[in-house]
């Protein structure tokens, strides 16, 4: 990941303004510590902080077309850049950067954005008429904010901290949208069939699911620097690691860095993730790095985490903290890119509260809502927690083609049916249940879902709650609606995070970038209605899914406990032969 900042149409174009742009861009340097670039044209500025992943020697930004009339600053990866270059043979390229194609594709008009296969946020300036466009990838894997200055200037930045002080108003740039100075305002360029939330009817084909996912992983092995896989030992990260390992030997990355895959896992000592991660790593034969942290380590990092991740959402902070700590260790080992398993739970209904979905229509609509909100939660966490230390996270489950395939399946197949041997994400598990050429051990393939903040060790969340209880009094919480009338915190933990957030980002526009509303086990507010008991137990932890999680609050909390019925599901489920 890189960091971008663009200021267009500002009244002041003095040396002092240039210095201010450089100062603000420096706030993003953690995202791109390898090089800095700045393009100035009259009253327009494009700044860039680079994390060099592809073409480290010549791919510095901003990037240009042949005569430099087009300048672009990009944060992201364009996985189909070689295919796009084939259709641009009459153009002269200056670098080997995957992002340079953007400066040339604009000849197709603004709708060229839909041709890009990757994760990205960019701002493109045409100096011939001083028109500009900005765009963000389909799901919002790559962060982007938009702001407006009192002088009429329009601002874009990878993180809020680079524009919040200088903009009168700002907001999160919506995923799958483009901003055009010519056409005025924002419009959505990403319009897949599932976006309408109409229930699909395509029959489930496990081989199509498997093949599409393998392609998604393979294209993300595009790198000129050392990389690895975040491996918690859960289904999603384990499949990413297994598929990556199978195809690593044939990839360009193996030619440079060898075919030994590095995997990384973090947790409190004795946590479920550490145990499962080690088991999967041993099975696959990866070079595994097991990282430990204590509850106090995490608590000490909370302020930094909130500054970098730019949220006060409880579940995001809980999960971001161990990921933030792990990313620092990963960077110290010389690794700059990792593959991660975000997105699967939203696409396949993997969160435990999906057990209570009343019918396939509501199941499908909830998955659609969850995918549309990913940029505010898991995408934000995965990107900013890793970028805080100059590490890039790639997420194969959020591949455009894979999402289209998975979201076209009749949701009846995704419904959780223990009577048929189907637990959460059965569609995905079954697709990789290959007895002839196994991807994973069967008990790992059918391991119950653990949210990242739970899997690192249940005492992590309990420790956070205890810490917040010591710093937030009953009186403070009672008066929360007066202190924080917008998105009022309902728990001491939420109140504690909010006070830290407000210290760094005091403007009302900043607090409006964070979503709110009731949630249980990471559900949307709408899904809380599925079970009357949930409204009395609103907590984003998976253990709040009473009657579903094997270690639910108020039930047996032994971390290795597992009901007999779950152990038998793997035996009941037929494999693909």
Instruction: Measure the CA–CA gap between 5 and 145, rounded to whole angstroms.
Output: 9
Strands laid side by side in the 3-8 sheet? 35-41, 44-50, 3-8, 154-157, 145-148, 169-172
As annotated, the active-site residues are 2
Structure-block tokens of residue 256: 């440079």
State the alpha helices, DSSP H only, in 95-234.
101-105, 206-219
Q: Are 87 and 107 in contact (CB under 8 A)?
A: no
Q: Which residues contact 228 (CB under 8 A, 6 or more apart)?
A: 261, 262, 263, 264, 289, 330, 335, 337, 338, 339
Annotation-wise, does 266 bind a ligand?
Answer: yes
Calculate helix-pair angle for 314-332, 492-504, nearest 10 degrees. Answer: 60
Closest CA to 246 of 275, 277, 221: 221
Phi, psi (degrees; rounded to nearest 5) at 446: -115, 30
Structure-block tokens of residue 461: 């969340």
Count Cβ atoms within 10 A of the Cβ of residue 282 and give its class: 0-12 exposed, 13-18 middle, 19 or more buried: exposed
Structure-block tokens of residue 473: 């009094």
Annotation-wise, does 224 bind a ligand?
Answer: no
Count Cβ atoms within 10 A of the Cβ of residue 34 and give its class: 0-12 exposed, 13-18 middle, 19 or more buried: middle
Annotation-wise, does 340 bind a ligand?
Answer: yes
Q: Are 46 and 62 in contact (CB under 8 A)?
A: yes
Q: Terminus-to-terminus CA distance in the chain, angstroms? A: 40
Annotation-wise, does 539 bind a ligand?
Answer: no
Please report the sign of the dihedral spanned by the C-alpha atoms of residue 85, residue 88, residue 89, residue 93.
negative
Closest CA to 365 of 418, 414, 315: 414
Q: Which residues contact 46 (CB under 8 A, 6 or more apart)?
A: 4, 5, 6, 38, 39, 62, 71, 72, 73, 123, 125
Q: Which residues contact 32 (CB under 8 A, 6 or more apart)?
A: 1, 2, 3, 48, 49, 50, 51, 390
Annotation-wise, does 98 bind a ligand?
Answer: yes
Structure-block tokens of residue 241: 């690691």
For the chain, give me the number of helices (H) and strands (E)? 22, 17
Closest CA to 229 of 75, 319, 316, 341: 341
State the binding site for ATP. 230, 266, 340-341
Annotated binding-site positions: 98, 230, 266, 340-341
Residue ranges of the binding site for L-glutamine: 98
């Amino acid at each position: 990941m890189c960091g971008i900042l663009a200021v267009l149409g500002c009244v002041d174009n003095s040396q002092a303004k240039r210095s201010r742009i450089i100062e603000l861009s420096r706030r993003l340097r953690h995202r791109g510590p390898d090089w800095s670039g700045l393009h100035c044209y009259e009253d327009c500025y494009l700044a860039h902080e680079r994390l060099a992943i592809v073409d480290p020697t010549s791919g510095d930004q901003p990037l240009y077309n042949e005569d430099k009339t087009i300048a672009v600053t990009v944060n992201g990866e364009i996985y189909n850049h070689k295919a796009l270059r084939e259709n641009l043979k009459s153009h002269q390229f200056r670098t080997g950067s995957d992002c340079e194609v953007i400066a040339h594709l604009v000849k197709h008009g603004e709708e060229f954005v839909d041709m890009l296969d990757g994760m990205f946020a960019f701002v493109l300036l045409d100096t011939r008429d001083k028109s500009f466009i900005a765009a963000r990838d389909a799901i919002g894997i790559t962060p982007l904010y938009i702001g407006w200055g009192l002088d009429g200037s329009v601002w874009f930045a990878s993180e809020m901290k680079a524009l919040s002080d200088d903009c009168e108003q700002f907001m999160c740039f919506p995923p799958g949208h483009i901003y055009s100075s010519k056409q005025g305002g924002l419009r959505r360029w990403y319009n897949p069939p599932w976006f309408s939330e109409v229930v699909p009817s395509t029959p489930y084909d496990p081989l199509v699911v498997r093949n599409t996912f393998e392609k998604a992983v393979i294209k993300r092995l595009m790198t000129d620097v050392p990389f690895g896989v975040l491996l918690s030992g859960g289904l999603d990260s384990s499949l990413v690691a297994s598929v990556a390992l199978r195809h690593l030997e044939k990839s360009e990355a193996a030619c440079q860095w060898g075919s030994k895959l590095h995997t990384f896992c973090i947790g409190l000592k004795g946590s479920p993730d550490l145990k499962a991660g080690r088991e999967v790593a041993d099975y696959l034969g990866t070079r595994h790095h097991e990282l430990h942290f204590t509850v106090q380590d995490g608590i000490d990092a909370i302020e930094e985490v909130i500054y970098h991740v730019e949220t006060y959402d409880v579940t995001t902070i809980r999960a971001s903290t161990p990921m933030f700590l792990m990313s620092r260790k990963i960077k110290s080992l010389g690794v700059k890119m990792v593959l991660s398993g975000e997105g699967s739970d939203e696409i396949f209904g993997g969160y435990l509260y999906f057990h209570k979905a009343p019918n396939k229509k509501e199941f499908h609509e909830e998955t659609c809502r969850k995918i549309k909100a990913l940029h505010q939660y898991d995408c934000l966490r995965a990107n900013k927690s890793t970028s805080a230390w100059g590490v890039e996270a790639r997420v194969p489950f959020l591949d455009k083609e894979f999402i289209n395939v998975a979201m076209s399946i009749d949701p009846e197949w995704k419904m959780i049916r223990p009577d048929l041997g189907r637990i959460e994400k059965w569609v995905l598990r079954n697709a990789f249940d290959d007895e002839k050429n196994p991807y994973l051990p069967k008990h790992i393939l059918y391991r119950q879902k653990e949210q990242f903040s739970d899997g690192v060790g249940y005492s992590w969340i309990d420790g956070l709650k205890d810490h917040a209880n010591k710093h937030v009094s009953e009186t403070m919480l009672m008066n929360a609606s007066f202190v924080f009338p917008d998105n009022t915190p309902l728990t001491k933990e939420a109140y504690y995070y909010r006070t830290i957030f407000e210290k760094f980002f005091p403007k009302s526009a900043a607090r409006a970038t964070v979503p709110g509303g009731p949630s249980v086990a990471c559900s949307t507010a709408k899904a809380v209605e599925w079970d009357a008991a949930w409204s009395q137990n609103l907590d984003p932890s998976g253990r709040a899914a009473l009657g579903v999680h094997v270690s639910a609050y108020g039930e047996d909390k032994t971390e290795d406990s597992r009901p007999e019925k779950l152990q038998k599901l793997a035996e009941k489920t037929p494999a693909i032969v």
